[in-house]
Chain A
Amino acid sequence: MNKPRLATLWLDGCSGCHMSLLDTDERLLDLAARVDLVYSPLVDCKLYPEAVDIACIEGAVSTAEDECRLRSVRERTKCLIALGDCAVTGNVPAMRNTWGTDTVLRSVYLEREALAARIPTEDLPLLSDKALPLHTFVKVDFFLPGCPPSADTIFSALTALIEGRSADLRLNTGFGT
């Protein structure tokens, strides 16, 4: 039997959810033996491949590029997991939604006596006006809230999905904490 093809993606988040995945420590070896990690910030692969079984996405959708990547991942993936509070609710990146991106950028880069006061634009995707959770744009199959979700939570979720036990998945995780 072919191993499930796993991908992880990092949108507007702090990478803490990926750190939590790495926190599964020695169990990473079990995971590695049971899946093919085909795309991730942890592997050197530039393009999102076809026919992925499970994708874990960390971070909110904050730019047109994020949205574009998310939509293409959805098209090529069977099971999409919103990993962590930013992907699930918008969380910290969505704190700018109240005031608008322009106001926040001006406040941070221009109005705080910065050394070289300018809003960085070079080689960076333009921030959308709002940072939004994944399910605003695409169908999400599983939500794993937590900031970050614990290593145990991520490991249990991935193991259950690999073994096809996803229907009764009830994880001890919630917003924050």
Chain B
Amino acid sequence: MTAAQILTLTIDGKHVSGLAHETLLQVALENDIAIPTLCCLEGLSNQGSCRLCMVEIAGTTKPQPACVTLIQEGMVVITQSENLRTYRRTIIELLFSERNHICAVCVANEHCELQTLARDLGVDHISFPGRYPALPVDASHDRFVLDHNRCILCTRCVRVCAEIEGAHTWDIQGRGIRSLITADFNSPWGQSTTCTSCGKCVQVCPTGALFEKGRSVAEMLKKRPSLPYLVSNRTREQQ
């Protein structure tokens, strides 16, 4: 990359600037403009799959995900509009209807990003009929549990395991609505030969899908590791 190039743009009517390699989401956050996110986590690669950070950009007809859209000179961006709010509420409602999210009896109650987003975005009911799928709970690991009922397939666990821990125990199996998080080649978590039991996947999981064994309702408070800090320390050690 050449010398850092500074670009200027407008977000929600506010004139802001950022470096050419920054995303819309980064520049928005630096300027205290809040955009809801779910799959995104600082320190991990962005895959733009949850679609909550969709924003409107003047001159394009389709909303774009802010986490994977690089800023451009003169961009005019809107992060809050009635359309965007409707899309975001719909995404949350679809996530709730897809699996068995029962906040009242969930280990992550009161500490869940899906639950908080629903509240913040004013989702007061789910307009879609629930699917109520019969999904397994993998409690084969000594210390942790994977409950597919609460999983929203954000893949934070997959990315933190592959990109930070370097174990790549987790991956996705299946397609579309039948996709599942899977350890190694679909083995019970407790029998995984690659898992280091570091627990990063548990701590980055936004919902109650991954939790520490023995936690009861509302007891699973996640300790988000500072991933950029881990990475920078490691890079320094290697030099």
Which residues in A have some Cβ–Cβ distance to B below 8 Å? 82, 85, 88-92, 94-95, 97-99, 130, 133, 135-136, 140, 143-145, 147, 170, 173-177
Contacts and interface: CB of A to CB of B under 8 A. Distances in A.
B132 A94 contact: yes
Contacts of A89: 96, 102, 125-126, 130
Interface stretch (B103-111, B165-173, B184-192): B103-111
Say which size band chain B's interface belongs to. 20 to 34
Contact of A170 (B118, B122, B125): B122
B125 A95 contact: no
Contact of B133 (A98, A143, A170): A98
B118 A175 contact: yes
Interface of B: 96, 100-106, 109-110, 112, 115-116, 118-119, 122-127, 129-130, 132-134
Contacts of A95: 100, 102, 105
Contacts, number: 73
B110 A176 contact: yes
Nearest to A97: B132
A91 B127 CA distance: 14
Q: What does DSSP make chain B's interface, helix, strand, loop or mixed?
A: loop
Contacts of A170: 122
22 contacts: A85-B103, A89-B102, A89-B130, A92-B102, A94-B102, A94-B130, A95-B102, A95-B105, A98-B133, A133-B126, A143-B124, A145-B124, A174-B103, A174-B116, A175-B101, A175-B104, A176-B104, A176-B115, A177-B104, A177-B109, A177-B110, A177-B115
Contact of A176 (B109, B123, B126, B134): B109
